[in-house]
Structure 1
Amino acid sequence: MPKKLEGKKIVLGVTGSIAAVETVKLARELRRRGAEVVAVMSKAARKIIHPYSLEFATQNKVITEITGKVEHVKYLGLEGEADLYLIAPSTANTISKIANGIDDTPVTTMATTALGSKKPIVVVPAMHAGMYENKAIKESLERLEKFGVEIVSPKFEENKAKFPDIEIICLHVERALYPKEMEGKKVIVTSGPTYEQIDPIRFISNKSSGIMGKEIALEFWRRGAEVVVITSKPSNLNLPKFEEIKIRSVKDMLEKTLNEVKNGCDLFVSTAAASDFILDMAESKIKTTDELILKLRAAPKVLWEVRKIYKGKIMGFKAETGVSDEELYQIAHDKKINDKIEMIVANDVLERGMGTLDTRVLVITNRRTEWIEGIKPDVAERVVRIYIEDVL
């Protein structure tokens, strides 16, 4: 698990929603990502989940009341120890109180202090859908957003505004804590393989998992960018300013990419393993024969077509098989020059990289040549840092 929250201290406020039962898993996941977690509970929350459960999950004593130790100041005051206040779940009652400056529980007192100290705050509403749609609650949420509070959208199911997936909450926390070098920038990422139909049930494709493209996209999103991912393998993450456009063929990818680029783009990232060949699809299933000859034609190159209409920054990717480090460098260097791009990431995918969780890549910019090795989320983070340092 990548330690995206290494060295961060998070205060976790828990209120009296039935979703409080999910906070043990949430606290443990935050810790897996490197954070230290301190829980604070309202009286209503303690009727749903015992403080011992969160003490176990956080390995810290749970705050159930504000004492002479002035815990709200210790953690969320102007010089407080905590980096962020996460209220999850947050009831309609708590949302309304915070929006109106009322602090009559340990959770709301922490919120009042964090707002005054300009600490990042993330609120995760969880309640019945009818309560969430109440105009007064909507106005309270809008008011909190004006205060700079980040609201995590609930998962709407069975007439309830349910607690979202733990992954979604953690991504919001990471984004709230990351530097915002890409604020106001729009990044378009192509990701994953394409599928070229032979007949209605068979196709030509490759082993690409789309993981690297997803991780690159999320890394730019954490840093404040608006991100559009054009992919055959969408992750279906419900995140603000993070859009996924599903495609299938290379022609489909090209069409959607050009449309998005024309609508505005500050960086185009071409991680997709798009097909090099296309063919005419048979209208019905091809019958089994001893031999089948398919006529393949060269597919359009998405990056080349983008460059024809777009003069901005491009990060390209190049996959090879069975080449030496020296040969890979030369191939990548030549591609960077010929394609007129600012940065290229290349790797030999014969043994790992395509369809695997880890990879080893070569990064070339005008300022450096660097090898990076590790799990894809960590490699993606380093690649984005290099872009920010060398190209942005």
Structure 2
Amino acid sequence: MFDLDRWREIFQSISKNKLRSILSGFTVAFAILLFTLLFGIGNGLQNTFKNEFAKDAINSIYIWPNSTTKAYKGHQIGRRIQFTNDDFNFLKEKYSDKIQMISPRLQRSVKVVYKTEEDNYTLRGVYPKYDILESAEVTEGRFLNIRDIKEKSKVVVIGRMVEKDLFGQISAYGKQLNIGGIMYKVIGVFSDPGGDGDERFIYTPFSTMQQIYGNNDHVDEFGMTYNPELSIDEAIAFSSQMHRELKKKHEIDPNDQRGIRVHNYASENKEVTGMMVGLSILILIIGFGTLIAGVVGISNIMVYIVKERTKELGIRKAIGATPGAIVSMIMLEAILITAISGYFGLILGVGILEVTGPSLEKYFILNPGVSTPVVVGATITLILAGMIAGYLPAKRAAQIKPIVALRAD
């Protein structure tokens, strides 16, 4: 394997037959290049789907009231549905085994002032653990707790961009904010995978906001996460059941789809999962089809190479070369060409993905790339194919008698 003279012969053979070496290498490099690009684009599409779901917990359900579109039980068309604390208690008690967490929500646009800095933001009144629903991460301080709800504390948790806008480089933790003319204490700062827009929200205890903005028991909407032990189909059935029960409670026609709206991420997750599986299978089929084409190309070229070198092999046998030495020489040459060309195709493919990656975002392809194990596996597959492609014709050539090989044209 590490015989210096043998490697010299291999490199001399490659250098003397540049065209066939280049053709062999091009076949391998092109196959790996296409394989890398296909998997990179496929992964980019999957990253786009994952990024969209990262904005909220994947087991999220949102419920909000709307206006009815059908008359029902003496109620007129266009009746505005209003949720209350009673609906919150109803959902908690009836579906306690299927709800992981639930929070009512109030939302208002407010003017926020800190010393000389001011801007408008969205203030949300929520319950503890609402940060889980939004996939937010508290980076400083803490999120709201049940004590804040009970005491109706005037405290807020602000997004990273709110802190940046109003406080610049200093920490907002522990500072006082004037929100709509009322002073609140900042008890936490959060980041959100949804981006800058989701980091310009301000969270305060639901009970505090309910008292200050209306002094009533109104609720704008509900956000919840369902029990993760539920399957996707069970989660969809669960949200449909809640939808029917809330319609019944508010006397809405069962066929009225707008009186109360429900957005269940499980439905989207089911569709997207199906699309991603289909996309993965399609990419695998095309990718392996490309590899098979590369294997066939290598095989054909190696058969031609061995046939072209029949007389040379005959001379080698005539001067004492063993069949094993001839076979190993051709196999090593095939492996060397395949490995170098495969690596070149891999580097080229990764480079193209790196350069074109940012411009592909407008086509919903986010961070296209390939995992090292996948590409290494594809390269090893081609190297093995090169070994097989070199071994079979080399073995036949090694079995030819020297006198027959010397007569070959």
- The bucket for the TM-score relative to the shorter chain is under 0.3
- Normalization by structure 1: what TM-score? 0.21
Q: Higher strand fraction: Structure 1 or Structure 2?
A: 1
Q: Higher helix fraction: Structure 1 or Structure 2?
A: 2
Is the radius of gyration larger for structure 1 or structure 2? 2
